[in-house]
């Protein structure tokens, strides 16, 4: 089976992206409440930090 370099690189990126997305989805499903609260507190800290700075 012959695959050109561009095709191989594209498939590699595709696989990496799919794995990353799957990992993020899995983490969110495992700790939805924690993820949301962390996200909200992180945004609030970022906003207050930016305003204070």
Report pTM.
0.45
pLDDT score of 22: 92
Residue 14 pLDDT class (50, 70, 90 cuts): very high
The conformational region for residue 4 under phi > 0 = left, psi -120 to 50 = alpha, else beta, is beta
Residue 13 pLDDT class (50, 70, 90 cuts): very high
Closest CA to 44 of 36, 32, 12: 36
pLDDT score of 31: 74
Answer whether 27's CB lies under 8 Å from 35's CB: yes
Sequential DSSP letters for 29-45: HHTHHHHHHHHHHHHHH
For 16-52, write each residue's pLDDT tens digit: 999 999 998 888 777 777 767 788 888 888 888 766 6
């Amino acid at each position: 089976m012959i695959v050109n370099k561009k095709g191989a690189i594209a498939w590699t990126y595709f696989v990496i992206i799919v794995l990353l997305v799957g990992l993020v989805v899995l983490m969110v499903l495992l700790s939805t409440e924690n993820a949301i609260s962390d996200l909200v507190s992180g945004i609030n800290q970022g906003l207050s930090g930016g305003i204070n700075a």
